[in-house]
Amino acid sequence: MSRKKSIDEWALDYWLLQQYAKLCYRIYYRKVEIKNLDRIPLNKAVLLAPNHQNALMDALVFVLNTSMQIVFLARADLFKTKRMSKFMHFLNIMPVYRIRDGFENVKKNDEVFARTTEVLNNRNNPLIIFPEGNHGEYRRLRPLVKGLFRVAFQAQEPNGTTPAVVILPVGIDYKHYWNFRTTIFVNIGEPIQVSEYYTEYTENPANAINRLKDDYAAELSKLMIDIQTTEYYDLYMHLREMYNERMKKELGITEKSLDAAFRSDKVMIDILNKELSENPENIIKLNNLVIPYQAEVKNQKLRDWVIKKGGFSIPRHLLSLVLYLAGLPVFLFGFVHNILPFGLTASRVKNIKDTQFHSSFKFVVSMIVFPVWYLIIGGVLALTHLPILIILFYIILLPLTGLLAFTYYIGFRKWLGCLRFLSGKNSVKVKKLVSDRSAIISMMNDIVRKHYSNK
């Protein structure tokens, strides 16, 4: 355990854990794309201020994609025991107290804010604060608490109007919050210089805090998927899946990056918001098409991409089956050797009521359970007196074939989805799905071209 005097000191034991966690992170996520990582300045007083939707994973985005030993805040109820407090200190986490922790404890935030000021002034590592205060499952910017901005001004105070402390707004967008092998897009915005607000802060602190908060919120909204409508939230989310590729074509975007998909979604959301304001009857009509369509797609055990693709080559489908049959032994090897730790983790996560903690739980538990399981298998093999090199090779195969088995499973499920479509494409229900999807895309084309052509 770390014996650091200051929470932001570099520590070897933290670095070793960080390297192992990075390896696990590369396995857990299929792709992590970070835009403008170079905007995080070194040896500066930096406050990283991301949106907060996916519990611990939001913080790990920075911890495991940089070489920095970043400091961040977490809710105080995680620090209940002395042992847990030491562990959180080792992880560079400080407590922040809320009203629900008791009014007498909220006063302890003064001490916490003083320590955050010290971290910023040391300029060893950035400090992460989530201005929304807690995580939320919807892709929208929620009301902000003022702690970030008070810390920023407190740290800026020794420097007056001389540039010193910067706030970096950061948008984080997950393809899926809980799925294994999903993607993350991280969008780092322009630094906000706290010094530019400091003169006003000396004259009217409340006004300066509110202006900085509003400016930050406006910047963060540009960097994240921010769907403010509650009534049509599901409509917007479904259209992100259904219309993104078409939207990119309308915008002339040709690249396949996560950034390209994000930019396309942002324009589409802006257009939908404008249509909702000017012609709400069209959004109602669109909603009445999309929601039943998506429900029937699920009912037919299909996916929208299958309906979109439509025609499938039967010879190619049969060739895919031959390849899946050929790869079956590898799948079975990976499945048999990994199903126990995978199943244990998946079964335990169901007991966590807050679904936004599911990916955090699965990631952390998997970091422990899988290596222990592989060591047990290695121990059993050692009893057979096999050569050590063969045992090591066997153990190395376990995670590799586990990943291959998971990829095989996902691919075969897609193959079955295509087969279901092929076998039922002449049915009334599937024909209606094809027709409904065409109507949805046609209506979206009209809405997009009406608004985008004027830009």
Average pLDDT over residues 19-39: 96
Q: Say what the pLDDT of residue 350 is.
A: 87
Average pLDDT over residues 31-45: 93
**Cα(245)–Cα(88) distance, integer angstroms:** 43
Please check whether residue 259 is in contact with residue 185, taking contact to mean a CB–CB distance below 8 angstroms: yes
Q: Is the pLDDT of residue 268 over 50?
A: yes
* pLDDT band, residue 2 (cuts 50/70/90): very low
Q: Is the pLDDT of residue 111 over 90?
A: no
Tell me what percent of the residues of the chain surpass a pLDDT of 90. Answer: 78
* pLDDT band, residue 201 (cuts 50/70/90): very high
Q: Say what the pLDDT of residue 1 is.
A: 47
Average pLDDT over residues 21-36: 96
Instruction: Kindly calculate the radius of gyration of the chain based on its CA atoms and give it in whole angstroms.
Output: 25
**Cα(272)–Cα(278) distance, integer angstroms:** 10
69-73, 81-85, 117-121, 137-141 — which is least confidently predicted? 81-85
CA 424 to mean position of chain CA atoms: 36
Helix H, strand E, coil C: the string for the chain is CCCCCCCCCCCHHHHHHHHHHHHHHHHHCCEEEEECHHHCCCCCEEEEEECCCCCHHHHHHHHCCCCCCCEEEEEHHHHCCHHHHHHHHHCCEEEECCHHHCHHHHCCHHHHHHHHHHHHHHCCCCEECCCCCCCCCCCCCCCCCCHHHHHHHHHHHHHCCCCCEEEEEEEEEECCCCCCCCEEEEEECCCEEHHHHHHHHHHCHHHHHHHHHHHHHHHHHHHCCCCCCCCCHHHHHHHHHHHHHHHHHHHCCCCCCHHHHHHHHHHHHHHHHHHHHHCHHHHHHHHHHHHHHHHHHHHCCCCHHHHHHCCCCHHHHHHHHHHHHHCHHHHHHHHHHHHHHHHHHHHHHCCCCCHHHHHHHHHHHHHHHHHHHHHHHHHHHHCCCCCHHHHHHHHHHHHHHHHHHHHHHHHHHHHHHHHHHHHHCCCHHHHHHHHHHHHHHHHHHHHHHHHHCCC
The CB-side HSE value for 54 (13 A sphere, CA atoms) comes to 22
Q: Is the pLDDT of residue 145 over 70?
A: yes
Nearest to 452 by CA among 306, 251, 186: 251
Nearest to 377 by CA among 402, 357, 354: 402
Q: Is the pLDDT of residue 4 over 90?
A: no
Please check whether residue 430 is in contact with residue 424, taking contact to mean a CB–CB distance below 8 angstroms: yes
Q: Amino acid identity of 448?
A: V
Average pLDDT of the chain to the nearest whole number: 93
Average pLDDT over residues 328-352: 94
Q: Is the pLDDT of residue 103 over 70?
A: no
CA distances from 331 to 179, 218, 325, 409 (A): 20, 48, 10, 8
Tell me what percent of the residues of the chain surpass a pLDDT of 70. Answer: 97
Q: Amino acid identity of 419?
A: L
**Cα(439)–Cα(142) distance, integer angstroms:** 34
Q: Is the pLDDT of residue 33 over 80?
A: yes
Q: Say what the pLDDT of residue 5 is.
A: 65
* pLDDT band, residue 330 (cuts 50/70/90): very high
Q: What is the pLDDT of residues 49-102, one digit of tens each?
A: 999 999 999 999 999 999 999 998 887 887 888 888 888 888 898 988 876 767
Could you give phi then psi for residue 53, rounded to 5 degrees? -130, -20
Q: Say what the pLDDT of residue 79 is.
A: 84
